[in-house]
Amino acid sequence: MIYSAKDNSAPAVADVLLDSGSGEGAVPVRLVRPGDPRMAALDSAAQAWLGALRFTPSARKQALLPGPDGRIAGVLLGMGNGHAGDPSGPSALLAGLLPQTLPAATYAFDPETLDLRLALLAWGLGAYRFQRYKSAGNDPMAKVVVPESVDRAALVNEIEAVWLGRDLINTPASDLGPADLETAARELAARHGAQCTSIVGDDLLAKNFPMIHAVGRASSRAPRLIEITWGRASAPSLTLVGKGITFDTGGLDIKPSSGMLLMKKDMGGAATALTLGHMIMGQKLDLNLRVLIPAAENSISGDAFRPSDVLKSRDGRTVEIGNTDAEGRLVLADALALADEAAPETVLVFATLTGAARVALGADLPAFFTDDEAFAAHVASAGESVGDPVWRMPLWPGYERHLDSEVADMNNVFDGPFAGAITAALFLRRYVKQARRFGHFDLYGWRPAARPLGPKGGEPQTARAVFEVLKRECGR
């Protein structure tokens, strides 16, 4: 791992997903459904044992089969008859429960397992632990063998990317400010032979990023615009823009204490962009990739920007500040204006942007905005297939009026209680005029409770769904 290398107790993904040469003596694991003939084929002792346990292959039910020597001879995990239900997606994703519950040993899925790659992916995602601040080391972990039929390198890359995103989101702001986020980006770029640059502090004003500067100037930790570039110049161009607010007090429109408790995750959009970038570069998709991360702390001091201030944005338009707690769209606007100057084929925005999206869809289902019907369908289908769901919401032009200002070209918020997520998405889209395809993901970036695909904590939602679409578009 890149970032969690600072955590001496953290396992590496490659230590959890073993190569095929490690399969000797591995405990077999079967994912079973009602009526599965492999259940009837078990020997009489195993049948009697399962009868004593009253085991049925309903979803999430597990049973360990004992061998004659008292060791574990096999594992059964019930799949039920349909989808995993939580998270949304194929029932093979329930395999993510196994590394959380099985004794430390080496395991191997039955070769007849349906959706074998997805089960292995779920195992890797479910094995994640954030132990950076634990004084005791990790307990030994259950490991799984990846057979030769599965591309282990690609699988490890995808899981490692998600672990990176989780590490970044889970790290508190005391250890993850704008400069630390830049360090993580530079480490990622160096690993993949990409270029990484940044514009820091007052240089943002000199190079015309006034809103990023305004949002971050009250903090003792300088704001910055981080940029990664990678890939063949003539390949299809893709720009990822991730909101990198490393902590959000709300500014002078200060949040209540309860509202600040999870604000270390307000850089979840940046973590998601880096997660997706790691996947793209690691699996060498033929794309001309650009990642832009406007990074800042929204703090309070005598130099903080104020409600009713008017800020000039990179493209020259002015923005009246209706609320300083709607700062994410301000830093994103400057980054999007820069992205649009190159007229890329696709611009995708990832941001923990609005509470309104959470009210509408909850923590598990990110809101997705686009005008591209085909792209919307592809993202929804891909998200469902890999257990990384999204839900499309409308960029309804009737709400453009919510951004009207009496003193500036626009306001950064609507003073009414309705359609906050749509209004924010419309604000962002105003800064993207030349790109052929635009998508905005308003995500929570956090798993409120442990689930099959991971523990409670940070989650770079939508990265796996979008990567699945990009793989298909690149012929992979």
Residue ranges of the alpha helices (H) in 363-454? 373-386, 420-429
Between CA 402 and CA 423 the distance in angstroms is 7
pLDDT score for 8: 47
Domain boundary residue among 150, 182, 213? 150
DSSP-derived letter for residue 306 is -
pLDDT score for 329: 98
Q: State which residues form the domain around 11.
A: 3-150
Same domain, 75 and 220: no
Domain boundary residue among 116, 150, 184? 150
Same domain, 288 and 426: yes
Beta strands in 231-357 (DSSP E): 237-242, 244-248, 288-298, 310-312, 318-320, 346-351
Q: Residue 255, class by beta-carbon neighbours within 10 Å (0-12 exposed, 13-18 middle, 19+ buried)?
A: middle
Same domain, 163 and 104: no
Count up the domains in the chain and report the number: 2
Q: How many CB atoms are closer than 10 A to CB 134? A: 12
Same domain, 175 and 115: no
Q: Is 401 a known active-site residue?
A: no
Same domain, 103 and 239: no
Query: Which is the catalytic residue, given 30, 143, 224, 329?
Result: 329
CATH of the domain at 91: 3.40.220.10
User: H or E stretch including 212?
Assistant: helix 210-216
Q: Is 329 a known active-site residue?
A: yes
Same domain, 57 and 77: yes
Same domain, 145 and 160: no
Same domain, 141 and 171: no
Residue 92's alpha-carbon distances to 114, 350, 351, in angstroms, are 7, 27, 29
State the Rg of the chain over Cα: 23
Same domain, 365 and 469: yes
pLDDT score for 82: 61
Domain boundary residue among 150, 171, 205? 150
3-state secondary structure of 287: coil
CATH of the domain at 355: 3.40.630.10
pLDDT score for 83: 52
Same domain, 127 and 198: no
Same domain, 425 and 326: yes
pLDDT score for 23: 84
Walking along the chain (476 residues) 10 residues at a time, the average pLDDT comes out as 50 92 92 90 92 93 93 94 58 95 96 92 97 84 96 98 98 98 98 98 98 98 98 98 98 97 98 98 98 98 98 98 98 98 98 97 98 97 96 98 98 95 98 98 97 97 98 92
Same domain, 188 and 144: no
pLDDT score for 156: 98
Between CA 436 and CA 236 the distance in angstroms is 11
Between CA 15 and CA 318 the distance in angstroms is 52
Query: Which is the catalytic residue, given 255, 284, 317, 392?
Result: 255
Token pair, residue 293, equals 């991360």
